[in-house]
């Protein structure tokens, strides 16, 4: 499954993206590529460099991509979410993946 993480270099998002790789998924991370975050980026990730807040640039960069699921870690308010939804419109096809990841995380936490 092809999974796009918007903001996959933070502590929580990076761990979830790694877990997604371990589940056998192709992981794509949309990142601004700031130097201080590069040391956290797993070599298995397919990196897409763009700032999600630059809607026109990001839409252009993502124009040839299609994902099974998109997971957003960067929308903190309604306006940001609207911008993100505008960018990823028609870029994903599967909404069930996140539930499987959450269940896997719960199992790990219980150990």
Domain parsing of the chain, residue ranges: 2-110
Q: What is the DSSP string of 48-99?
A: EE--TTSHHHHHHHHTT--BSEEEES---SHHHHHHHHHHHTTSB--SSHHH
pLDDT tens sequence across 58-100: 999 999 999 988 888 888 887 887 888 788 877 676 655 555 6
Mean pLDDT of the chain: 81
Specify the CATH superfamily of domain 2-110: NAD(P)-binding Rossmann-like Domain (3.40.50.720)
Binned at pLDDT 50, 70 and 90, residue 39 comes out as confident
Say what percent of the chain tops pLDDT 90.
35
pLDDT confidence of residue 20: 93
State the pTM of this model: 0.77
pLDDT confidence of residue 74: 84
């Amino acid at each position: 499954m092809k999974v796009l993480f918007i903001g996959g270099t933070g502590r929580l998002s990076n761990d979830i993206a790694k877990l997604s790789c371990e589940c056998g998924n192709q992981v794509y991370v949309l990142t601004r590529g700031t130097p201080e975050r590069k040391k956290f980026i797993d070599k298995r990730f397919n990196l897409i460099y763009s700032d999600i807040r630059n809607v026109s640039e990001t839409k252009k960069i993502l124009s040839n991509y299609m994902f099974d699921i998109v997971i957003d870690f960067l929308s903190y308010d309604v306006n940001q979410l609207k911008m993100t939804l505008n960018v990823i419109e028609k870029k994903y096809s599967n909404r069930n993946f996140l539930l499987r990841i959450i269940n896997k995380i719960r199992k790990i936490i219980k150990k």
